[in-house]
Amino acid sequence: MGWEEKQVRGFPEFVQTAQRYHGRPIFALFCGDKDAEGRSWCPDCVTAEPVVRKELHNMPEESVFIYCLVGDRAYWKDPNNEFRKNLKLTGVPTLLKYGTPQKLVEEECFKADLVRMLFTED
Amino acid sequence: QEAAKYEKKVMVLDFVTPTPLGNSWGLGGTCVNVGCIPKKLMHQAALLGQALQDSRKFGWEFAEEVKHNWMTMTESVQNYIGSLNWGYRVALREKKVTYENAYGEFVGPHTVKATNKRGVEKLYTAERFLIATGERPRYLGIPGDKEYCISSDDLFSLPYCPGKTLVVGASYVALECAGFLAGLGLDVTVMVRSILLRGFDQDMANKIGEYMEEHGINFIREFVPIKVEQIEEGTPGRLKVTAKSTKGNQIIEGEYNTVLLAIGRDACTRNIGLDKVGVMINEKTGKIPVNDEEQTNVPYIYAVGDILQDKLELTPVAIQAGRLLVRRLYGDATSKCDYVNVPTTVFTPLEYGACGYSEEAAVEKFGEENIEVYHSYFWPLEWTVPSRDNNKCYAKIICNIQDNERVIGFHVLGPNAGEVTQGFAAAIKCGMTKEQLSSTIGIHPVCAEV
């Protein structure tokens, strides 16, 4: 397999985890929080998650996949939330390669071949 | 992308042969990676430096000395370029265009061989081919040039500040780079073989040179380098440049941290197998002659961009030519690319925008007695308070007396020249006459009202 997944919630936990794996390829998927039944308030995230998970095996060896819940809907809508301010996220779901300008936003995450391209690009 | 809209099966082969110093880049061509985009951003960095100085006269107070960090700027610029490279990859994918990062060359009729960076070869056939390989910087062919000198291909991602720099050349690339490097606070010298900005209006070219000289850029005129040697290794190191006069036997020497060559660009047409499919090229310049529908002498092979003979080397021209070509081939369009009255801007410290004929070209084509030149110096309002030069900004229009005083040339030297020129280019395309121009009321207070 050669890769591992870390699940985090909120900005500080995300940053801590990303820093811990500095030096390895890090991919992150940002989604809205899930309720008690495991359903996200963000319908696009619900669509994107299985598409992304199916492509994870294409990540390079030693990769770290961080699955990050950003917060509830109200937190996300705040234009000054930490993800918007510090990571420049503009929407959820966002799938990105940490430390590079490579990312896929919203409907782009539904497309398996784009996800695969992000995971396998040099 | 345009062809894919018409449901054609399309493939793009893009490969960057590394520079002598090992530099390479992503998808997008020269403009995005080592041309217009990083150039304009660095030009902006230099302008901001000037603005910071002006700001004190407008009441901004800051005690600390203002310094520039090359690495911070370069990282931001490269990051932006990276997002563009990625954006193109996504766009091609979404439009179902197959992309291969491989070096393409013709091996036979309708067939190309693509070699990737690992040396793996694949063959592809197609109904039609479009060549848009562009150009790369020319080297001097003197001892030490490839080992120690850099070109614009290396400058925009240089991982260390270039320091005291010698720019060889007087092209717009040379002057723009010299301009922003000096604007960032570096000691810059420009070595010119003969004239500045060959092909551009010489009256304007000289004003640009004068302005740069008065603002701290040294010019060494009528000399060419004959040898570059390394005195000390480093990032940057120290180089010794020996140069000879073009007018006699005088030899001079100078020491610099970096030598930037900007003496011209050569078309990338020599090693792509054009001979195997019979595409004619101009042996001397490497450029490809095409008809007014961008078709080479081989009917199924087309070409656009800087490699075309006798056409303007500008990104928007190449893009427009490419789009229209595809629409003619696969859509029902008939319009051809209009290569006349294409506006351009040179982003030297004092920007220069132009559209149409230079004064010399107008005189040559229509005769001196048939053209009228209207000109004016102007002092941008924003320059008054910080006491910047009051006699440098300049605008002129060239009119054809025999054709209702139609405006056939527009030239402006001043801030935001590019923005100003764009509108006038549209007016010239519509055939604006001097009277129409004069009767257009100006916006006040802006430079363009002149």
The two three-digit tokens of residue B378, written as one number = 């102007």
Cβ contacts (< 8 Å) between A122 and chain B: which residues? 101
CB contact under 8 A, B86 and A102: yes
Cβ contacts (< 8 Å) between B89 and chain A: which residues? 117, 121
Domain assignment present for residue B150? The answer is yes
Strands A64-69 and A26-31: parallel
Q: What is the pTM of this model?
A: 0.86
CATH number of the domain where residue B126 is located = 3.50.50.60
Nearest to B237 by CA among B252, B253, B256: B256
The tally of domains found in chain B comes to 3
CB contact under 8 A, B90 and A114: yes
CATH number of the domain where residue B374 is located = 3.30.390.30
Query: Where residue A1 falls among pLDDT bands split at 50, 70, 90?
Result: low
Distance of CA B93 to the CA centre of its chain: 29
Query: What is the interface size between A and B, counted as CB pairs within 8 Å?
Result: 24
The answer on B173 and B49 residing in a single domain is: no
Cβ contacts (< 8 Å) between A102 and chain B: which residues? 82, 86
The answer on B12 and B77 residing in a single domain is: yes
Distances (CA, A) of B378 to B53, B58, B89, B395, B414: 22, 21, 45, 8, 9
Domain assignment present for residue B448? The answer is no
| Residue A106 contacts B where some CB pair is shorter than 8 Å | no
**What's residue A26's pLDDT?**
95
Residues of B known to be catalytic: 444
CB contact under 8 A, B86 and A103: yes
Mutate to test the interface with A, among B77, B81, B93 (most CBs of A within 10 A): B93
Domain assignment present for residue B413? The answer is yes
| Residue A117 contacts B where some CB pair is shorter than 8 Å | yes
In B230-380, alpha helices (H): 274-277, 315-330, 359-366
The answer on B316 and B360 residing in a single domain is: no
Q: Is the pLDDT of residue B6 over 90?
A: no
CB contact under 8 A, A101 and B82: yes
**What's residue B177's pLDDT?**
95
Mutate to test the interface with B, among A88, A89, A94, A117 (most CBs of B within 10 A): A117
The answer on B126 and B151 residing in a single domain is: no
The answer on B6 and B132 residing in a single domain is: yes
Give the C-alpha separation, B94 to A106, whole Å. 14
Query: Where residue B117 falls among pLDDT bands split at 50, 70, 90?
Result: confident
Question: Min CA distance, B432 vs chain A (Å)?
Answer: 45
- Scan for tokens 């801007």, then name that residue: B345
Domain assignment present for residue B444? The answer is no
CB contact under 8 A, B80 and A101: yes
Lowest mean pLDDT among A61-70, A90-99, B148-157, B311-320: B311-320
Nearest to B141 by CA among B54, B203, B224, B32: B224
What is the predicted ipTM?
0.77
Tens digit of each residue's pLDDT (9 = 90 or more) over B80-103: 999 999 999 999 988 888 899 999
The answer on B314 and B230 residing in a single domain is: no
Q: How far apart are the first and last CA of chain B?
A: 41
Tens digit of each residue's pLDDT (9 = 90 or more) over B329-378: 888 888 888 787 889 999 999 999 999 999 999 999 999 999 999 998 88
| Residue B90 contacts A where some CB pair is shorter than 8 Å | yes
The answer on B274 and B131 residing in a single domain is: yes
Question: Min CA distance, B11 vs chain A (Å)?
Answer: 16
The answer on B169 and B76 residing in a single domain is: no
**Residue A109 bears catalytic tag:** no
CB contact under 8 A, A114 and B93: yes
Residue of B nearest to A107 (CA): B94
Domain assignment present for residue B338? The answer is no
Of B263, B278, B306, the residue at which a domain comes to its end is: B263
Residue B142 contacts residue B225 (beta carbons within 8 Å): yes
Facing B89 at nearest CB: one of A100, A111, A117? A117
Give the C-alpha separation, B156 to B34, whole Å. 6
Provide the b/e sequence for B362-396 (b: ≥16 CB within 10 Å): bbeebeeeebeeeeebbbbeebeeeebeeebbbbb
The answer on B193 and B50 residing in a single domain is: no
Nearest to A18 by CA among A63, A87, A88, A66: A66
Count other Cβ atoms within 10 Å, centred on residue B23.
Answer: 19
- What phi, psi does A103 have (nearest 5°)? -155, 165
Across residues A53-68, what is the average pLDDT?
93
Calculate what percentage of chain B has a pLDDT beyond 90: 61
Mutate to test the interface with A, among B37, B76, B89, B90 (most CBs of A within 10 A): B90
| Residue A121 contacts B where some CB pair is shorter than 8 Å | yes
Domain assignment present for residue B163? The answer is yes
Q: Is the pLDDT of residue A122 over 70?
A: no
| Residue A88 contacts B where some CB pair is shorter than 8 Å | no
Give domain limits for chain A: 4-120
Across residues A39-43, what is the average pLDDT?
91
Residue of A nearest to B90 (CA): A114
Calculate what percentage of chain B has a pLDDT beyond 70: 99
Cα torsion B291, B297, B301, B305: sign: negative
Residue of B nearest to A97 (CA): B86
Question: Min CA distance, A5 vs chain B (Å)?
Answer: 25
Q: Is the pLDDT of residue B297 over 70?
A: yes
Contacts 24+ apart (CB under 8 A), B335-343: B336/B292, B336/B293, B337/B292, B337/B294, B338/B429, B339/B311, B339/B312, B341/B425, B341/B428, B341/B429, B342/B312, B342/B314, B342/B316, B342/B317, B342/B425, B343/B410, B343/B421, B343/B422, B343/B424, B343/B425
Question: Min CA distance, A79 vs chain B (Å)?
Answer: 23
**What's residue A56's pLDDT?**
93
The mean of the pLDDT values for chain A is 92
| Residue A101 contacts B where some CB pair is shorter than 8 Å | yes
Annotated binding site of B for NAD(+): 169-176, 264
The mean of the pLDDT values for chain B is 90
Range of the domain at B369: 351-439
Give the C-alpha separation, B32 to B38, whole Å. 7
Give the C-alpha separation, A96 to A76, whole Å. 18
Element holding B136 (H helix, E strand):
strand B135-137
Side chain identity, residue A96: L
**What's residue B156's pLDDT?**
94
Facing A101 at nearest CB: one of B86, B93, B94? B86
Element holding B339 (H helix, E strand):
none
Across residues A25-39, what is the average pLDDT?
91
In CATH, the number for domain A4-120 is 3.40.30.10
The answer on B157 and B220 residing in a single domain is: yes
Question: Min CA distance, A103 vs chain B (Å)?
Answer: 8
Of B242, B263, B284, the residue at which a domain comes to its end is: B263
3-state SS class at B26: coil
Burial of residue A13 (number of CB atoms within 10 Å: 0-12, 13-18, 19+): middle
Of B207, B230, B263, the residue at which a domain comes to its end is: B263
The answer on B12 and B128 residing in a single domain is: yes
Q: Which residues contact B58 (CB under 8 A, 6 or more apart)?
A: B385, B386
Cβ contacts (< 8 Å) between A100 and chain B: which residues? 82, 86
Facing B83 at nearest CB: one of A101, A113, A114? A101
Domain assignment present for residue B343? The answer is no
Nearest to B361 by CA among B317, B409, B319, B329: B409
Question: Min CA distance, B215 vs chain A (Å)?
Answer: 37
Q: How far apart are the first and last CA of chain A?
A: 20
Residue of B nearest to A103 (CA): B86
The answer on B23 and B112 residing in a single domain is: yes
The two three-digit tokens of residue B54, written as one number = 């002006």
Tens digit of each residue's pLDDT (9 = 90 or more) over B199-256: 899 999 999 999 999 999 999 999 999 999 999 998 899 999 999 999 989 999 999 9
Cβ contacts (< 8 Å) between B83 and chain A: which residues? 101
**What's residue B26's pLDDT?**
87
Domain assignment present for residue B340? The answer is no
Residue A64 contacts residue A6 (beta carbons within 8 Å): yes
